[in-house]
Structures are given as C-alpha cells and as structure tokens.
Amino acid sequence: QKEVEQNSGPLSVPEGAIASLNCTYSDRGSQSFFWYRQYSGKSPELIMFIYSNGDKEDGRFTAQLNKASQYVSLLIRDSQPSDSATYLCAVDSSASKIIFGSGTRLSIRP
C-alpha cells in the first residue's frame, strides 16, 4: 500500500463549479497534512495546511481532514481557469519526513 494515494485524474470541472480532490494516507501517526499546487514546469507551492479533524477554509479553498478514515480532501469553490494545475497531497511520516502522493491533474474548462 502506498503511503499517500490520490486519483491521478485528469479531473475536468466547468468554470465556476466546485472541484473536489481526495487523498488517503496509511500512517495513522501522521499529524500534518498539506495541499500543494504545481503548475507545469514549476515548483510546488503550498495552498493549504491542516492538522485538526474537520474543515479549514482559506478563500475559495477548503481542506477537510478525517483522521479516523485517514482521509484528507481539498475543495475549490468557484473554480477558475487559473486553478488548472496538478494538486499534490503531502503527509508527514514519522514526524520528520514529508511524503507526497502522485498528484491529481485538474483542468477547469471555460
């Protein structure tokens, strides 16, 4: 079992709709959960960080964490063409290393 799993996509969402991205992880001891966005040819950039069960909102982005189900998700409301990118879920493992999923490619269609 991979430590961090994501659907690779591509996920196609119409402009203005909600995009929903999912991630599961295997290490029950994980405490920190991150969503990074990566545009083609660029370095990843952090868009959301969450460590408590429940929801965390920042502008159009909402991260959701369910530790019992070992599941973290990212919702993007009012999707814009500029949101088209690869979204990487990352999780701490053994409190010292950060493991990434394979990424979900998101495409926002006008």
Partner 1 sequence: NAGVTQTPKFRILKIGQSMTLQCTQDMNHNYMYWYRQDPGMGLKLIYYSVGAGITDKGEVPNGYNVSRSTTEDFPLRLELAAPSQTSVYFCASSGTALNEKLFFGSGTQLSVL
Binding region for partner 1 (CB under 8 A): 3, 6, 8, 31-32, 34, 36, 43-46, 49, 51, 88, 90, 92, 95-103, 105
The residue (of 49 and 71) whose beta carbon lies closer to partner 1 is 49
Q: Which is nearer to partner 1, 3 or 67 (CB)?
A: 3
- Does residue 108 contact residue 19 with C-beta atoms inside 8 Å? yes
CB of 100 to partner 1, least distance (A): 4
Judging by beta carbons within 10 Å of its beta carbon (0-12, 13-18, 19+), is residue 90 exposed, middle or buried? buried
* Rounded-to-integer distance, Cα 42 and Cα 39, Å: 5
Token pair 């660029």: residue: 42
Provide, rounded to whole angstroms, the least separation between the CB of residue 17 and partner 1. 24
